[in-house]
Structure 1
Amino acid sequence: MKYIYSMLLALCCVVFACAQPADSSSKHRNLEEVTVTGSQRVTHVDNVIDIRQIPMPALVIDRKAIEAMGSRRLDELLREQTGMAVVSNLGAGNRSVGLQMQGFSAEYITILLDGQPMAGRSSGNFDLSRVTLSQVERIEIVKGASSSLFGSEALGGVVNIITRQQVSQTQALANVLYGSFHSLDATVEAETSFSDRKGTAFVSANYYKTDGFNTDPLYLKDGKTVPPYNSLTLQGRGRYQLGARHTLHTSIRYSGRHSEMVHNYGRGSVSKDVLDENDFNGMLALNSQLNGNTRVVSRYYFTHYGSRQDVTDVVSGDVLQRNNFLEQVHRGEVQFAHDVTTHDLKFIGGAGGEYLRTSNFDDKAAGGSMANYFVYVQGNWKPYTGFNVIAGARYSGNNRYGGKLTPSIGVNYSPASWITIKASAGQGFKSPTYRQMYQVFTNFVYGYTIVGSNIIQQGIRDLEKAGVVQEIWPAAATVSNLKAETSTSYNGGFTITPVSHLELGVSGFYNSIHNMIYSRQIGIKTNSGRIESYFNIDRAYTSGLEASVRYTPLAGLLVSAGYQFLYAKDRGVIDSIEAGVSPYNQLRAVGGVVRATSKDYFGLPDRSRHMVNLQVFYEYKPWGVNLSLRSSYRSRYGFMDQDDNRYIDPYDVFVRGYALFHFSAQKKLAGERLTVQFSVENIGDYTDRLMPAQPGRMFMAGLAWRCFAQKNKPGLQ
């Protein structure tokens, strides 16, 4: 019922916005912002960091592109981008999908909301499907080690979700989509100015529900690999001009999700799985323009994530699994930006700290809190036209793992107007999470248990006492307290524009990771499920090549394509195979056990060697029509080491290579007030039991209605 009340309240806001008189002095602007290109400045009203001043490869997906693709959740959007893979994280249960970039898994990708970190990771993974795109203005993506500006979790990159930043006039929108699996996506939003434009306000509400789906009907007789759920997201932003130099900004977001389902594997046991999640984010910032060249932003940020999962036996009512998790972050920060115009030199920097509190760990674990502090600075120097140098550093401290300096440097060089050459290098630092150190997590659906490395002996004793251990392997004796991870990233490439309507880009990357944390099997349970724990990989690396092309042969027609080639391996495994160290020196082939060579090592799990995407967008303005056709391909990738030689070889379990195709169409009517929308995802209806979060063919259709001032709107009376 609370969802219905919230939607009715938001709907009242829409009605109010539609009823407001037109402002004849202002021009109408649609709710989406203009397309961001390389020549435009990306401005944040409550953050001094400009994505153009980051030396690593960057990408911006604006509101217009998001709407043209018909994407509803964050995972749907990111899976179609070059070099970005969305994978199911079975270690976090069957409700979780995470992101890979440049071979880094989800644990190393920082997810930000308006420049601030979002909480609530399961086994290190942030579930992208939690985030609705209805209130998103644009997505900013940075690939490669970005710790010098964004903090310790950004070893692999950053995804910054930017919500509505600017308000032009009183206007509103209502949007409803319905489709396959009884999926419903409903959004209402409104914005207005007040106090003679000294203040602005934006509010929105999104309700989403789906019946879920089952990609493994042979194994799961009754139930869903992705469960049915409903979610509500409420969001608001406000701005008020305090004077000529100071502006107060505030934002608030609440998201709640509930799901429940029954599992029946046909083995006589039927279970009920119920999960409730709550996510809250709040921010207060003071933007001070001290003079024409200096800007200071002071802000406080708070985030709270809580989840409760109960798995019970339907017949007996016994609780089979209970997971309660809480994570809170308090963060304070002061940022500055200063331009030295006489020397074409720009500086940004900041300092602050955060306090993190988590729970749901073993009772014997030490503590449940962690404190971080940081200071960073970056300079952008342009000694002459076509050449600039970006250099910076961040010092991050942790009350348990001490401090680490993470520098970065980049160079942009344009010897001619049609070519730009870029090169960058940066370092990253990441301390282990409490989950990796102290949590004992059992995935009831797949029957395995993960034990935190710092409590491995106590965790094993508890499992043995419960009578669920069949065998503990010798690898368990090698588990020890985890070390902090460090990385060094190198990126280089060029972009050329041989003609005005064609852009080509090629770049290469190499990331070296020291003490990389990963999970590995250390035993087997009586139900044949795996017992796993966490280890440090001394020397891991990812390297590869990315290529992209953007072609606009006709007005309104855009064709883009991208390709990534990737290697992601553990150098220690390669050395052990070549040295003949057991068990690395053998593998179970079709004809029996044979001696292994380094060529038999495929690489780290879940990484495809090849990834391709193709997108075609067409807009015919006289008819108000927008069309898009997109496709993506992933080559096969390793899923599980089934012979316990501690690496993926050709005879282990792989996810097959596959291609997905998507189509969406929009038609604007009634002077652009009404938009009719239709989309079909996964046209070929491809599914795989090892990809539980990938649905089959999915149709969606709906309407969007905009309310805005008629005056000054071209084509309206």
Structure 2
Amino acid sequence: MQEGKKVEELSVRLDEVVVTGTGTEHYLKDAPVQTEVLTRKALEQFQARSMEELLSGLSASLTFHDGDMGGHIQLNGLNNDYILILIDGKRMNGDVGGQNDLNLLNPANIERIEIVKGAASSLYGSDAIAGVINIITRKSPHKMELTSTSRVGEYGDVRESASFGLSVGKIKSVTGVNFRHTDGWQNTDLQWNQQQLKPGSTLKTMNRSTNYTLSENLEWQVNDQLQLTASGSYYERWVARSHGQWSYLANDFYYRNYGFAVGGKYKLGGRNYLTADLSYDRYGYFYDYKLQEVTDYFMEGNRITYFPGQRIKQSIQKQVLGQAKGVFYFGERHILNTGIEYLYNGLESPHRIDGDRASVYTLAAYAQEEWTARENTVVTVGARGTLHKETGLNFSPKVSVLYKWSDFNLRASYAMGYKSPTVKELYYNYIATLGGGALTAYHGNKDLKAQTSQYASVGLEYAGNKWQASLTGYVNLLRHLIELVEINLTPEEKLEEIEKSKEYRNLTRARIWGVDFTFNYQPTKDVTLSGGYSFADPKAQYPNQGINYMEYIPMDATSKHNATFHAAWQHAWKRYRLGVGVYGRYQSTRRYVKDNNADAFQTWRINTAHTCLGMKRWTMTLNVGVDNVFNYIDRTPFGYNRATTTPGRNFYVSALLKFKNR
């Protein structure tokens, strides 16, 4: 993951503190639950155009296929619905079409990213069936610190990510600004329309878009025992869509999010402590009309018509999250982690929900015991009880064992996962054409059950001076899986010329088994080789698909084989350091239940880093690189599934500036 680390510095990375796996602090090498860490250094050196590109480029287990309706993230065969994304341990709010809007994140404000794979519902509740991605934000350790990354590439690609940290007495502040723009691009002008393949489409593979985020994080160390925190953020995004002869796109997209959080940590005697957090987030999704549209909605007997210049609310997502926990150390062998949580999710959407709004809530309590049975053996046992408004009570236990021998760690775990239906899955109804596809009606389902899973894994890890490697095998068995299932068109939908109709349903069951492998090797102080391979075979039973109901078939939009590779070299002279990084990613055929499979592909990128040395407080690095060196472009027509949205080979330049006043 890291370019140019000296051999003696490898132990620093192994001694990095992680928290996501158990909710308590552990050195990475001693963590009872295996955790993959993407460091700040790795994030800076990759110089990605987007968060999706960054995550998939550095972790083989994560895959994406970009679009207007989100990044479509997958982790070990399961999509965004089953991946819990946290920001400093708090649930991320704001999605587009069920996909988390990662544009909300500011790369310059990220300290590290921790990835825990497998069911983690005993600690984190619903959604953590595939795993947890915890994004840890920057805490300024200096009196003054400035970090700025400016990136310019082809297709009007511009990104500015800045973070300013300031410490005054007992108060610390980190202010973040993130701006991103792209003109978009078109990889093909072919489009499927009314079962015919037609040239001359005006749709874009990636639409023109602009977004920015402003954020503020405050920390006040009141005294030796009490620490208070507060944070806030504001985000806007605009997406321009190209109107065409076969796709009447009367509107562009507009998104707006703001959120606030307060929290505190109180140290008791010894290492014991209590924490409490309260947050509120509001995410809005709107249509900006540029053409007239006559809708199928009526008000007081008159059909509603929208006109150019109008901004019309489509949905408002609201989240209120309250958490409190206590961590207690009993001697040197026992750590007790207990907590309670309240989560409220509300959704406003005119014409798409009965009464225009709906909400759900969950109440939860959990307890976890970490027992160091011997110096080389740690056993973790935990359980969570969750009460959901619609699906009732759920119980989620977990047990894991860590055995250490010399430079080897052997880990094993078993957990039951849990996922409640979202507000959209329960109540939301809409009609849309996505990516040039068929006009489709989507229906919520109030009769959905909670999804459950049983997850087991066994892993072996080696951490030597030059070599670090891990190999983990796992199986994940899911019940009552929620998927969009195609159903028969109603007479009303046929009159409206809707081509497909889909409804959220509980499928009978699904099963996933796979293997994850990662390695890091540093043969010399100037050379680093690292990478990963992820094999996943996710299959499910799909009703109403013209197949044997009991037959397991590949889950929609999944690929069996994914791999990443990174080779880095760097050398320092008196006033100058040169770093060269080569990054590769391979993805096998992405399988779909309907239409076509997406082709296998691989992409490679080269980044060169030129750093000025000898300055006391300043660090300046100029990055020059090329994405997609071998110019792979997927020209699959609109309306069919494609492997990747990359525009092909493109060059970029970025400048990384750091200032620190200790």
Quick check: TM above 0.5?
yes
How far residue 517 of structure 1 moved from its aligned partner, in angstroms, is 0.4
Opposite residue 38 of structure 1, the aligned amino acid is L
Partners of 2:407 and 2:282 in 1: CA distance: 47
Verify the 8 A CA contact 2:429 2:444 in the aligned structure 1.
no
How far residue 164 of structure 1 moved from its aligned partner, in angstroms, is 0.7
Q: Give the structure 1 partner of residue 37 of structure 2.
A: 60
Verify the 8 A CA contact 2:121 2:416 in the aligned structure 1.
yes
Show structure 2 runs of 5+ residues with no match: 1-8, 192-199, 296-304, 637-641
Q: Give the structure 2 partner of residue 128 of structure 1.
A: 102
Q: Secondary structure at the match of 1:446?
A: coil
Give 1:452's match in structure 2, choosing from 443, 453, 459. Answer: 443
Once the two structures are superposed, residues 464-487 of structure 1 have per-residue CA deviations (whole angstroms, 9 ceiling, x without a partner) of xxxxxxxxxxxxxxxxx2111111
Would you tell me which structure has more helix in proportion to its own residues? Answer: 1
How far residue 704 of structure 1 moved from its aligned partner, in angstroms, is 2.8
Q: Give the structure 2 partner of residue 604 of structure 1.
A: 555
Mapping of residues 494-509 of structure 1, within 5 Å:
494-497=460-463, 500-509=465-474
Partners of 1:229 and 1:254 in 2: CA distance: 17
Q: Give the structure 1 partner of residue 583 of structure 2.
A: 630
Opposite residue 522 of structure 2, the aligned amino acid is T
Once the two structures are superposed, residues 530-562 of structure 1 have per-residue CA deviations (whole angstroms, 9 ceiling, x without a partner) of 221111112111111122222110113221122
Partners of 1:351 and 1:429 in 2: CA distance: 17
Are residues 319 and 366 of structure 1, via their aligned partners in 2, closer, same or farther at CA, if it must alter by over 3 Å?
Answer: closer
How far residue 48 of structure 1 moved from its aligned partner, in angstroms, is 5.1
Partners of 1:447 and 1:252 in 2: CA distance: 40
Are residues 35 and 523 of structure 1, via their aligned partners in 2, closer, same or farther at CA, if it must alter by over 3 Å?
Answer: farther
Give 1:299's match in structure 2, choosing from 274, 277, 280. Answer: 277
Verify the 8 A CA contact 2:257 2:284 in the aligned structure 1.
yes
How far residue 675 of structure 1 moved from its aligned partner, in angstroms, is 1.5
Are residues 693 and 310 of structure 1, via their aligned partners in 2, closer, same or farther at CA, if it must alter by over 3 Å?
Answer: farther
How far residue 449 of structure 1 moved from its aligned partner, in angstroms, is 2.3
Give 1:618's match in structure 2, choosing from 552, 559, 569. Answer: 569
Are residues 392 and 423 of structure 1, via their aligned partners in 2, closer, same or farther at CA, if it must alter by over 3 Å?
Answer: same
Q: Give the structure 1 partner of residue 546 of structure 2.
A: 583
Q: Secondary structure at the match of 1:226?
A: coil
Q: Give the structure 2 partner of residue 42 of structure 1.
A: 18
Q: Give the structure 1 partner of residue 422 of structure 2.
A: 433
Q: Give the structure 2 partner of residue 458 of structure 1.
A: none
Please tell me whether residue 344 in structure 1 is matched to residue 344 in structure 2. Answer: no
Partners of 1:276 and 1:448 in 2: CA distance: 21
Please tell me whether residue 88 in structure 1 is matched to residue 65 in structure 2. Answer: yes
Are residues 205 and 440 of structure 1, via their aligned partners in 2, closer, same or farther at CA, if it must alter by over 3 Å?
Answer: same
Q: Secondary structure at the match of 1:78?
A: helix
Q: Secondary structure at the match of 2:398?
A: strand
Once the two structures are superposed, residues 225-277 of structure 1 have per-residue CA deviations (whole angstroms, 9 ceiling, x without a partner) of 2211111111111111212211111122222111223231x44x653431111
How far residue 691 of structure 1 moved from its aligned partner, in angstroms, is 4.1
Partners of 1:325 and 1:35 in 2: CA distance: 48
Partners of 1:51 and 1:100 in 2: CA distance: 27
Once the two structures are superposed, residues 292-317 of structure 1 have per-residue CA deviations (whole angstroms, 9 ceiling, x without a partner) of 22111111111111110256647999
Opposite residue 605 of structure 1, the aligned amino acid is D
Partners of 1:108 and 1:393 in 2: CA distance: 19
Give 1:373's match in structure 2, choosing from 363, 366, 371. Answer: 363
Q: Give the structure 2 partner of residue 15 of structure 1.
A: none
Opposite residue 555 of structure 1, the aligned amino acid is K
Partners of 2:293 and 2:221 in 1: CA distance: 61
Give 2:126's match in structure 1, choosing from 139, 144, 152. Answer: 152
Partners of 1:82 and 1:707 in 2: CA distance: 29
Opposite residue 484 of structure 1, the aligned amino acid is A
Q: Secondary structure at the match of 1:216?
A: coil
Once the two structures are superposed, residues 405-462 of structure 1 have per-residue CA deviations (whole angstroms, 9 ceiling, x without a partner) of 1111100112x3122111001111111112112222222343332432437xxxxxxx
How far residue 139 of structure 1 moved from its aligned partner, in angstroms, is 0.8
Opposite residue 281 of structure 1, the aligned amino acid is G
Mapping of residues 511-522 of structure 1, within 5 Å:
511-522=476-487
Opposite residue 226 of structure 2, the aligned amino acid is H
Are residues 363 and 509 of structure 1, via their aligned partners in 2, closer, same or farther at CA, if it must alter by over 3 Å?
Answer: closer
How far residue 104 of structure 1 moved from its aligned partner, in angstroms, is 1.2
How many correspondences in the alignment?
612
Q: Give the structure 1 partner of residue 523 of structure 2.
A: 553
Q: Secondary structure at the match of 2:41?
A: helix
Opposite residue 598 of structure 2, the aligned amino acid is V
How far residue 210 of structure 1 moved from its aligned partner, in angstroms, is 0.8
Q: Give the structure 1 partner of residue 379 of structure 2.
A: 389
Opposite residue 502 of structure 2, the aligned amino acid is E
Are residues 334 and 496 of structure 1, via their aligned partners in 2, closer, same or farther at CA, if it must alter by over 3 Å?
Answer: same
Partners of 1:75 and 1:286 in 2: CA distance: 32
Q: Secondary structure at the match of 2:77?
A: coil
Opposite residue 445 of structure 2, the aligned amino acid is N
Q: Secondary structure at the match of 2:44?
A: helix
Q: Give the structure 1 partner of residue 72 of structure 2.
A: 98
Q: Give the structure 2 partner of residue 252 of structure 1.
A: 232
Q: Give the structure 2 partner of residue 684 of structure 1.
A: 630
Partners of 2:293 and 2:407 in 1: CA distance: 70
How far residue 659 of structure 1 moved from its aligned partner, in angstroms, is 0.5
Are residues 450 and 50 of structure 1, via their aligned partners in 2, closer, same or farther at CA, if it must alter by over 3 Å?
Answer: farther
Opposite residue 346 of structure 2, the aligned amino acid is R
TM-score (norm 2): 0.86
- Range with greater deviation from structure 2 (661-670 or 689-698): 689-698
How far residue 88 of structure 1 moved from its aligned partner, in angstroms, is 3.3
Verify the 8 A CA contact 1:225 1:692 in the aligned structure 2.
no
Are residues 315 and 532 of structure 1, via their aligned partners in 2, closer, same or farther at CA, if it must alter by over 3 Å?
Answer: closer
Q: Give the structure 2 partner of residue 282 of structure 1.
A: 260
Q: Secondary structure at the match of 2:127?
A: coil
Please tell me whether residue 492 in structure 1 is matched to residue 444 in structure 2. Answer: no
Q: Secondary structure at the match of 1:454?
A: coil
Q: Secondary structure at the match of 2:421?
A: coil
Q: Secondary structure at the match of 1:64?
A: helix
Are residues 300 and 418 of structure 1, via their aligned partners in 2, closer, same or farther at CA, if it must alter by over 3 Å?
Answer: same
Once the two structures are superposed, residues 315-353 of structure 1 have per-residue CA deviations (whole angstroms, 9 ceiling, x without a partner) of 999659976111111111111111122x42112221121
Partners of 2:471 and 2:322 in 1: CA distance: 39
Partners of 1:151 and 1:662 in 2: CA distance: 38
Verify the 8 A CA contact 1:148 1:393 in the aligned structure 2.
yes
Opposite residue 453 of structure 2, the aligned amino acid is S
Please tell me whether residue 208 in structure 1 is matched to residue 180 in structure 2. Answer: yes
Once the two structures are superposed, residues 13-58 of structure 1 have per-residue CA deviations (whole angstroms, 9 ceiling, x without a partner) of xxxxxxxxxxxxxxxxxxxx999633332369xx856696875432
Verify the 8 A CA contact 1:305 1:326 in the aligned structure 2.
yes
Show structure 1 runs of 5+ residues with no match: 1-32, 456-480, 587-596, 643-652, 713-717
Q: Secondary structure at the match of 1:262?
A: coil
How far residue 83 of structure 1 moved from its aligned partner, in angstroms, is 4.0
Q: Give the structure 2 partner of residue 533 of structure 1.
A: 503
Opposite residue 183 of structure 1, the aligned amino acid is D
Please tell me whether residue 412 in structure 1 is matched to residue 363 in structure 2. Answer: no
Opposite residue 460 of structure 2, the aligned amino acid is F
Query: In percent, how many aligned pairs have the same letter?
Result: 22
Q: Give the structure 1 partner of residue 89 of structure 2.
A: 115
Q: Secondary structure at the match of 1:79?
A: helix
Partners of 1:253 and 1:199 in 2: CA distance: 19
Give 2:201's match in structure 1, choosing from 207, 221, 239. Answer: 221
How far residue 626 of structure 1 moved from its aligned partner, in angstroms, is 2.7
Verify the 8 A CA contact 1:296 1:334 in the aligned structure 2.
yes
Opposite residue 66 of structure 1, the aligned amino acid is L
Partners of 1:95 and 1:130 in 2: CA distance: 14
Partners of 2:234 and 2:80 in 1: CA distance: 23
Off by >6 Å, runs of 4+ in structure 1:
33-36, 314-318, 320-323
How far residue 692 of structure 1 moved from its aligned partner, in angstroms, is 6.2
Once the two structures are superposed, residues 130-165 of structure 1 have per-residue CA deviations (whole angstroms, 9 ceiling, x without a partner) of 433121111111111011111211111111111112
Partners of 1:301 and 1:109 in 2: CA distance: 20
